[in-house]
Amino acid sequence: MFGNWMKTSILMAGIVALFGAVGAMLGGREGMLMALVFGGAMNVWAYWFSDKMVLKMYKARQVDETSSPYLYNMVRELAQRGDLPMPKVYLIDEAQPNAFATGRNPDNAAVAATTGIVRLLSERELRGVMAHELAHVKNRDILISTISATIAGAISMLAQFGMFFGGRGDERPNPILQILVMILAPLAAMVIQMAISRTREFGADRGGAEISGDPEALASALAKIESYARGIPMGTAEQHPETAQMMIMNPLSGGGLRGLFSTHPATQERIARLRAMVR
């Protein structure tokens, strides 16, 4: 637990430092001060409210044992197996098969699945996927992923609005430098997310296999999700690519820099590791 809090603290400090660096390059001392204040405020806001923002962004609707007994009871059984508090359960009306977990800690967690994944997977496979998301909750990955998704979007916004900083006198930045910052700052945020997310996914795969007791089912689910997800776009993820790293499978269409900076490890490697657990 201490290690996860340390990772979260390092992430927050790194994000604030990146905010300050972008502000300094765009607006000198005044820009750096404004960016640091903005970055600190964003960290506090993201800690308390980013999970609600992400769920609202995806138009997720909360379900219970009356409105969606199949999914709700499955999550409840898996949460009991994993010795976890019962999270809130959400459905997202999207055809692409995918799922994610969010929240600041296990007592304030939520798991969300698309209607596409519920329709596509068998019961065994869906259990594996939801166990994977609960493993993120158990490992306390969800705070890190939600904060990084929220603030990566804020960094992109800060860089795009960089022209409004305009320092004074000798502090006025070079227009070429401004353009470079507008391009490189979002890329730096993507690299931070990539480094965090790839390690987390392997850990959640193992943890999910242990919670469900069925690593082969999760391996089968990953293969099926990748096969179908590539041909079914998810509009919200394309509009907010910083949230892609929260999903069990990269929801973006890929190609170009998005493929190069994928926040998820290769699916075949994930499957191989799960099947090694079976052997």
Catalytically active residues are 133
Say which residues have a Cβ less than 8 Å from residue 92's Cβ, sequence separation at least 6. Answer: 58, 59, 60, 61, 112, 113, 114, 115
Return the closest-CA partner of residue 109 out of 80, 79, 129: 79
Phi, psi of 99 (to 5 degrees): -160, 155
Bridge partners of residue 92, in order along the sequence: 114
For residue 171 the two structure tokens come to 């502090």
Residue identified by tokens 């496979």 is: 125
Which amino acid appears at position 201 of this protein?
E
- What DSSP line would sit under 178-216, residue for residue? HHHHHHHHHHHHHHHHHHHHHHHHHHHHHHHHHHHT-HH
